[in-house]
Amino acid sequence: MLDKNMEETVSEKSKIIAQDVRVLYSDKEALRNVNIRISEKMVTAFIGPSGCGKSTFLRCFNRMNDTISDCRVEGSIMFDDQDISQIDPVMLRAKVGMVFQKPNPFPKSIYDNVAYGPRIHGRARNKAELDEIVEKALRRGAIWDEVKDRLHTSGTGLSGGQQQRLCIARAIATEPEVLLMDEPCSALDPIATAQIEELISELRQNFSVIIVTHSMQQAARVSQKTAFFHLGNLVEFDDTSTIFTNPQDARTESYVTGRIG
């Protein structure tokens, strides 16, 4: 019997289904028995106090936790009805892209940053096709007009906000189906943050976006669904408007009203 967090409406197709997910670092439990459905082509926000497990859970979706030696993930995560533990991690990460908290462009040209993934995965048969992929990704990343005349200069020479949009372009160049964003605006100024938020709203037309954010205002602005985590538990998951205006759990209400956090 699925709980409320696992119910699926007719209008929402699930992209990722997590059941009884538990994460441990050595013997310390970071997440316990998380059940959630992530809907296709929606923005889902993970909110909660620092250290509550939201980034740990996000990293489960592309098996980034596999790279941590003392980390163990239990339970099941299905991506398009396939268990992600049975998918090669490199192939999974082409389908589930990730943007990190701090912009991290490669020390390469803007062009080579975006071309990196498509080259690895053999998405282009020739230079013309690669050029087209790079331009499309930079346009989707809302940075093409700013960099089109300097594609062969270093990506590290861009401003912080531009670097983050370049990293988003790099993540979507492999045509992923899901985009994970781990506090993508926390290192950015308000103007750059507004640009990224606008971009996130556009990206959901083509991708399922999951964003971890410490900003409740940001979650309210960009997401359609919100999950509230507290002390390693998924406390509540619902439409964003419901979470912020009519939460069912007292802990959620305390967090969104600023009494805990």
pLDDT for res 41:
95
Residue 31's contacts (CB-CB under 8 Å, 6 or more residues apart) are 21, 22, 23, 53, 56, 57, 232, 233
Q: Residue 8, Cβ neighbours under 10 Å: how many? A: 12
pLDDT tens-place string over residues 87-140:
999 999 999 999 999 999 999 999 999 999 999 888 899 999 999 999 999 999
Q: Which residues of the chain have pLDDT under 50?
A: 1-10
Nearest C-alpha neighbor of 53 from the set 35, 76, 34 = 34
Domains within the chain, CATH numbers bracketed: 4-105+176-256 (3.40.50.300)
pLDDT for res 258:
86
What is the C-alpha R_g of the chain?
18
Beta strand pairing status for 233-239 and 14-25?
Answer: unpaired
Question: What pTM did the predictor assign?
Answer: 0.92
pLDDT for res 12:
74
